[in-house]
Amino acid sequence: MFDELRDSLRALSSRLDPDERRRMGQGMREAMVHAKLAINDMRAALAPTEQRLRVEEGELATVRRRQSLAADIGDQETVAIAERFAAQHAERVAVLESKRMVQQQELALAEREYEAMSADLRQVLSGVAPGGESPDAAAAREVQALFTHEAAGATVDPLESGAPVRRSRVEREADAEARLAELKKQFGR
């Protein structure tokens, strides 16, 4: 339903520049406002359908009551007329019930999509890609993995085919600092 908004959100999530994210975030907020207005329009369209359905149900009940009264006194002409009107009102009630059900389902779908996009937008604006983790958490996880892997003093020598080599603590810390600086550079910090 809100495909353009979802596509814009995905495009926004792939950008890590905070200024660009803020600028695009403002546009996304405006789009979310328009989506919320569309949801409100759907709710407003549902109200007259429900009102018409209540009126038709009332008319159907009235016609059936009159049909019953006419049958009790033996007025076959009134019974036949009441049967015809009862069929018309019953058909209208069925159509209006279907219409109301479709409108309710459409509204529920739009509300779910809006809530999901709203949550994704909050994540993007906070620096987290939808369904992902923040740049800080990713960097911390990588550094933690680096330190736990190198805690025993062994690491993989990139020049050889994965053979572990022993390095001094100073070399490991320097390497970790260099990797941390590279991660910070990648995430604009």
Q: How does strand 154-156 pair with strand 164-166?
A: antiparallel
Range in 40-49, 79-88, 113-122, 166-175 the model is least confident about: 166-175
Angle 181-182-184 from CA coordinates, rounded to 5°: 65
Same domain? For 50 and 113 the reply is yes
Same domain? For 106 and 25 the reply is yes
Same domain? For 77 and 12 the reply is yes
**The domain containing residue 97 runs over which residues?**
3-125
8-34: average pLDDT: 69
- How confident is the model over 115-140, as pLDDT tens digits? 988 887 777 777 665 555 555 555 55
Q: pTM for this one?
A: 0.56
Residue at a domain's end among 72, 90, 125: 125
The answer to whether the CB of 123 falls within 8 A of the CB of 130 is yes
Residue at a domain's end among 125, 154, 177: 125
Enter the tokens of residue 79. Answer: 């019974």
Q: Is residue 46 in some structural domain?
A: yes
pLDDT at 136 (0 to 100) = 54
Same domain? For 145 and 65 the reply is no
Same domain? For 34 and 86 the reply is yes
| Nearest one of 81, 24, 45, 63 to 7, comparing CA atoms | 24
Tell me which of 150 and 174 has the higher pLDDT: 174
* Count of domains forming the chain: 2
| Paired residues of 154 in beta bridges | 166
Same domain? For 44 and 90 the reply is yes
Residue 153 DSSP one-character state: S
Range in 73-77, 110-114, 121-125, 148-152 the model is least confident about: 148-152
CA distance 67 to 47: 30
Q: Is residue 130 in some structural domain?
A: no
Same domain? For 57 and 146 the reply is no
Same domain? For 69 and 117 the reply is yes
| Paired residues of 164 in beta bridges | 156
Residue 155 DSSP one-character state: E
Enter the tokens of residue 130. Answer: 């939808």
The answer to whether the CB of 167 falls within 8 A of the CB of 119 is no
Same domain? For 16 and 102 the reply is yes
Q: Is residue 71 in some structural domain?
A: yes
Residue at a domain's end among 82, 101, 125: 125
Residue partners of 61: CB distance under 8 A and separation at least 6: none
Instruction: Say whether pLDDT at 156 is over 60.
Output: no
Same domain? For 84 and 167 the reply is no
Strands (E), the chain: 154-156, 164-166
Same domain? For 111 and 19 the reply is yes
CA distance 147 to 155: 10
Residue partners of 96: CB distance under 8 A and separation at least 6: 49, 52, 53, 56
Same domain? For 99 and 58 the reply is yes
pLDDT at 118 (0 to 100) = 85
Average predicted confidence (pLDDT) for the chain = 78
Q: Is residue 19 in some structural domain?
A: yes
